[in-house]
Structure 1
Amino acid sequence: MRGMPALSLPGSKSITARALFLAAAADGVTTLVRPLRSDDTEGFAEGLVRLGYRVGRTPDTWQVDGRPQGPAVAEADVYCRDGATTARFLPTLAAAGHGTYRFDASPQMRRRPLLPLSRALRDLGVDLRHEEAEGHHPLTVRAAGVEGGEVTLDAGQSSQYLTALLLLGPLTRQGLRIRVTDLVSAPYVEITLAMMRAFGVEVAREGDVFVVPPGGYRATTYAIEPDASTASYFFAAAALTPGAEVTVPGLGTGALQGDLGFVDVLRRMGAEVSVGADATTVRGTGELRGLTANMRDISDTMPTLAAIAPFASAPVRIEDVANTRVKECDRLEACAENLRRLGVRVATGPDWIEIHPGPATGAQVTSYGDHRIVMSFAVTGLRVPGISFDDPGCVRKTFPGFHEAFAELRRGIGS
């Protein structure tokens, strides 16, 4: 069995972003252990600093002085870079304070939708104005605290809208009752609820209604688990390579992240998968079967599956992933176009992609500035010589050292 030492992967982006919000909102000083250090999370931390929060950073820990009353400054201009969590969570956090706060983001992030969250905040009495296109950055929040009460939310485009409101709930005067009409990527909401519990808040659920009590958060020490979406590329590499084995410690049966469910897809395709209490191992058996997979709840790993699909023994059909069209790019079309460029036969629909097995040839992959496109097609490159990228550096969004780590994996599994 060709393997490599247990992989040390960066912390989860989703968990780091939520932890930064919770730490900023909590009463006291919170220590975050092994947070992800990437463009997105550094942007989030920098945004907190602009809002007047103290964030102390060492290589392995970040310390945040919480302010339950909201930002320490009465005015701020915050640049959210490319980060969707930054661009959605920070205006929500600022709304609980008192002052005027302007938010802007990169051209890529300006294109991504925000309107369901904007509408919900306005329904709660928040003075929030979009300066250019309605429902998109830039925006200004004139904050005077949030009373709370009932609100209805459509989270069919992004679960981050619901997470933002859940995180806000304990900072409101009355608490929140959030009625959800549609929800995508539900496991990410479970991450939010578990993390709120760690900071002292228990959310109740009554059918489609989430009931969030007022009263604020308690500071704590919080360890960030490795990023399961990032782990998917390394697990896929093992599944693609007969006799290869990859183990990721820190991701096991107790993991918060739903994207660890990607290994169940690999198991269905023929890989050997072992999920222990505190580690997950994937072994390549030499078999990679075609399948139909509903990836609504693990849609960030859709490109990973698309990237190994040409090497399956039968077509791979990925369904219920319409929300991947409003990520950093239209990921569904980006995968289809790049696979076609490699000579692979692909069909797509509004919320599905079907990839047929067949030989592939090397070509330059167009990244569309999307870290997940680059990391996914790096896995394809294990079997297809001559794959290159127009923007390999965009991986800094979540994993600045990805190319080095993947090259080490490649040597370890002898691919």
Structure 2
Amino acid sequence: MTVIDIPGSKSVTARALFLAAAAEGTTTLLRPLVSDDTEGFAEGLTRLGYRVERAPDAWRIEGRPQGPAAEADVYCRDGATTARFLPALAAAGHGTYRFDASPQMRRRPLGPLTEALRTLGVDLRHEETDGHHPLRIAAHGIKGGELTLDAGQSSQYLTALLMLGPLTDEGLRITVTDLVSAPYVEITLAMMRAFGVEVARAGDTFTVPPGGYRATSYAVEPDASTASYFFAAAAIGPGREITVPGLGGGALQGDLRFVDVLGAMGAGVRLTPDGTTVRGTGRLRGLTVSMRDISDTMPTLAAIAPFAEGPVRIKDVGNTRVKECDRLEACALNLRRLGITVTTGPDWIEIRPGTPRATEIATHGDHRIVMSFAVTGLRAPGMTYDDPGCVRKTFPGFHEAFAAVVSLLDRN
């Protein structure tokens, strides 16, 4: 058995940074993810006037319940959480704030969130394309009230508004008409609770009280999406076994459900309160699976689908078309270049069994495409990537860590 340490969760780190910044007092984050996305988020907070002290295994954030400084210009890099959460944080303040992002992030949608902020009375203007960065906010605090939100493209719109709620004068009542990646909202609710705020939920309506947050010490659990690549590497190798400690049955992250998919395909899966183990059995069955709630792991499954004994059909993943790239088409393109038969529809992909041949992977600058097809490369030696370095977004040391784990698996 190979035991590996996975870096901290990107989703948890980003939420913790927002909540810590808004809280009364100083928060310590233990084992936060250190990557381009989280460094960009921390830099954005610094530009907004928050004090962030970063040590290798712990970050300290001094909260500003009064809100950000009076003026700031924030560059969000490629980070969707930075680009969506920080404008919501700034909107609760009093001042003038401008946000911009990389060309990749500029292409990604923002409209449902910014329309919701406008509904709450926020003076927000998109400088170029409506519903996209760059944008400018003239903030005068937020009274609060009722909202109807379509979160069918991204659950991050709802998360941003939920975390904003305690910073308004009267709180928020949010009714959701559509929601994708629902487990990410459960992460948000649990973390808000840890920072002193209890959100009431009745069906599709969330009621968020005013009153702010209180600082705490918060341990960031390992990233379940990142763990999926290592679990997949075990699943496609007979007798290979990988355990990820700190990511067990009580984990916040819904993406840990990826191991349930591996189990349904025939891999051995064991969850304990302290960790998760996946073992390759030598057989993977084809299946049809909805990945609406765990869509960040769709590329991982697509990358190992050729090794199943029957077709793998992944459905309800239309939202992956508006991620860092159109992930559904990126997976299809690369699988075809590997010699695999693939068909796609608006929100689904079906992959036939086959023997991949090594090729150069077109990454589209997307970290998840690189890391997913690294698993395919275990059975197709000689795989290369047109932009291997884009993994710095969430896991700068991925290639070295993955090679080290594979070497351990081969020895065991």
TM-score for both structures, normalised by structure 1: 0.98
Q: Within 5 A, what are the aligned runs for 1:5-404?
A: 6-71=3-68, 73-404=69-400
Whole-angstrom CA distance in 1 between matches of 2:203 and 2:409: 47
| CA shift for structure 1 position 233 | 0.1
Task: For residues 240-272 of structure 1, give each alpha carbon's deviation from its aligned partner in whole angstroms, at most 9, with x where no partner exists.
Answer: 000000000010011000000000000001000
Aligned residue for 2:19, secondary structure, equals: helix
Letter in 2 for 1:372: R
Whole-angstrom CA distance in 2 between matches of 1:139 and 1:408: 43
Aligned residue for 2:218, secondary structure, equals: strand
Letter in 1 for 2:146: E
| CA shift for structure 1 position 335 | 0.1
| CA shift for structure 1 position 359 | 1.6
Whole-angstrom CA distance in 2 between matches of 1:57 and 1:351: 40
Whole-angstrom CA distance in 2 between matches of 1:203 and 1:315: 42
| CA shift for structure 1 position 48 | 0.2
Task: For residues 312-353 of structure 1, give each alpha carbon's deviation from its aligned partner in whole angstroms, at most 9, with x where no partner exists.
Answer: 000000000000000000000000000000000000000000
Q: How many residues align?
A: 411
Letter in 2 for 1:259: D
Unpaired stretches in structure 2, ≥5 consecutive residues: none
Letter in 2 for 1:212: V
Alignment counterpart, residue 403 of structure 2, candidates 400, 404, 407 = 407
Letter in 2 for 1:112: R
Letter in 2 for 1:272: G
Whole-angstrom CA distance in 2 between matches of 1:59 and 1:118: 35
Whole-angstrom CA distance in 2 between matches of 1:367 and 1:398: 15
Task: For residues 353-407 of structure 1, give each alpha carbon's deviation from its aligned partner in whole angstroms, at most 9, with x where no partner exists.
Answer: 0000012111000000000000000000011112100000000000001001100
Letter in 2 for 1:252: G
Alignment RMSD, CA only?
Answer: 0.6
Whole-angstrom CA distance in 2 between matches of 1:38 and 1:76: 23
Unpaired stretches in structure 1, ≥5 consecutive residues: none
Over 3 Å off, 4+ runs? none
Aligned residue for 2:109, secondary structure, equals: coil
Whole-angstrom CA distance in 1 between matches of 2:204 and 2:287: 32
Whole-angstrom CA distance in 2 between matches of 1:42 and 1:360: 36
Whole-angstrom CA distance in 2 between matches of 1:202 and 1:117: 22
Whole-angstrom CA distance in 2 between matches of 1:178 and 1:324: 24
| CA shift for structure 1 position 213 | 0.2
Whole-angstrom CA distance in 2 between matches of 1:207 and 1:188: 16
Letter in 2 for 1:309: A
TM-score for both structures, normalised by structure 2: 0.99
Aligned residue for 1:414, secondary structure, equals: helix
Letter in 1 for 2:314: I
Aligned residue for 2:270, secondary structure, equals: strand
| CA shift for structure 1 position 413 | 1.2
Letter in 1 for 2:183: P
Whole-angstrom CA distance in 2 between matches of 1:253 and 1:69: 38
Letter in 2 for 1:41: T
Task: For residues 138-177 of structure 1, give each alpha carbon's deviation from its aligned partner in whole angstroms, at most 9, with x where no partner exists.
Answer: 0001111110010111000000000000000000000000
Whole-angstrom CA distance in 2 between matches of 1:140 and 1:167: 20
| CA shift for structure 1 position 206 | 1.6
Whole-angstrom CA distance in 1 between matches of 2:360 and 2:298: 20
| CA shift for structure 1 position 235 | 0.1
